[in-house]
């Protein structure tokens, strides 16, 4: 069975601070995929990134960066120089290779960026 | 960029009534999904659908639920005899292929269902 744990339920930061959202996962598969989604107050799910289990390269996209460490089963997400528009709930998620994209989501981390 | 479209954005229904949530997946996609998010909780998988049949479903997806692709474009989720605990945001998703490797899920904006 697969599981995603986001230990931080809510985080508040002041604008321009950096913030890291933690994600720890469990899976028995050797091939799996990790995701981060953003859910703004309007409610839609916005895809941010997908990572394959066999690619441990970290990734940077503008102010966003992701640190994938297979050894600790973690896939952390950092926002640099946070902005008010980053305020949202962020979900880490996992899907295993065999299924029909049955994605398991974490409980989400609510990020509030204070101006 | 093509989008998954869900209607209505908000549906209010009385307990015991049947409700149909509608989705138009991206046109060249072959795999369709419904996910559910109870307010303040995580997003949960309900069902996947391929080749006009259910390919996988969760324990949440009991006999109260059904899915259908009535024509070439729509994908629907029917909830018979709704209960208060069915109140949630329902997300439709589609993908071109089966694997997350080369075919990520595209989610719609969701339908918020309120059962009173």
| Chain B residue numbers touching A104 (CB-CB < 8 A) | 45
Residues in Cβ contact with A90 at an 8 Å cutoff, skipping those fewer than 6 apart: A21, A36, A37, A38, A39, A48, A77, A108, A109, A111
Interface of A with B in 14-53 (CB under 8 A): 33, 35, 37, 42-45, 47, 50, 52
pLDDT in tens, chain A (115 residues): 789 999 999 999 999 999 999 999 999 988 899 999 999 988 889 889 888 898 888 888 899 999 999 999 999 999 999 999 999 999 999 998 766 678 999 999 999 999 9
Please check whether residue B107 is in contact with residue B93, taking contact to mean a CB–CB distance below 8 angstroms.
yes
pLDDT of A55 reads: 84
Tens of pLDDT, residues B39-70? 989 999 999 999 999 999 999 999 999 999 98
Closest residue in A to B46 (Cα–Cα): A102
Q: How far is A57 from chain B (nearest CA, A)?
A: 16
Closest residue in B to A46 (Cα–Cα): B107
Positions in chain B whose pLDDT score sits under 70? 100-102
Helix/strand/coil for B85: helix
pLDDT of A57 reads: 81
Tokens for A105, please give them. Answer: 């989501």
Name A109's bridge partners: A90
Q: What is chain A's length? A: 115
Bond from prior residue into B8 cis (ω within 30 degrees of 0): yes
pLDDT of B96 reads: 87
Please tell me if residue A101 touches chain B, with a CB cutoff of 8 Å: yes
pLDDT of A113 reads: 97
Rounded to whole angstroms, the Cα distance separating B63 from A90 reads: 32
Sheet arrangement for strand B5-7: B5-7, B19-24, B75-79, B65-68
Rounded to whole angstroms, the Cα distance separating A15 from A78 reads: 14
- Asked if A97 and B44 come within 8 Å (Cβ–Cβ), the reply is no
- Asked if B58 and A102 come within 8 Å (Cβ–Cβ), the reply is yes
């Amino acid at each position: 069975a697969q599981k995603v744990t986001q230990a931080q339920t809510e985080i508040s930061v002041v604008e321009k601070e950096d913030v890291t959202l933690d994600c720890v996962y469990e899976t028995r598969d050797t091939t799996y995929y990790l995701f981060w989604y953003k859910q703004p107050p309007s409610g839609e799910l916005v895809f941010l990134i997908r990572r394959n289990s066999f690619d441990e390269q970290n990734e940077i996209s503008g102010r966003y960066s992701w640190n994938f460490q297979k050894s600790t089963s973690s896939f952390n997400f950092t926002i640099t120089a946070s902005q008010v528009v980053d305020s949202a709930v962020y979900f880490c998620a996992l899907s295993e290779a065999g299924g029909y994209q049955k994605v398991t989501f974490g409980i989400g981390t609510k990020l509030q960026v204070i101006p | 960029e093509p989008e998954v479209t869900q209607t209505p954005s908000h549906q209010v229904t009385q307990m015991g009534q049947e409700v149909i949530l509608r989705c138009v997946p991206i046109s060249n996609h072959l795999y369709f999904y419904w996910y559910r998010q109870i307010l303040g909780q995580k997003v949960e998988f309900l069902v996947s659908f391929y080749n006009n049949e259910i390919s996988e479903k969760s324990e949440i997806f009991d006999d109260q639920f059904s899915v259908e692709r009535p024509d070439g474009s729509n994908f629907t989720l029917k909830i018979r005899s709704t209960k208060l605990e069915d109140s949630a945001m329902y997300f439709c998703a589609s993908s071109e292929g089966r694997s997350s490797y080369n075919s990520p899920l595209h989610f719609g904006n969701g339908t918020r269902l309120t059962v009173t």
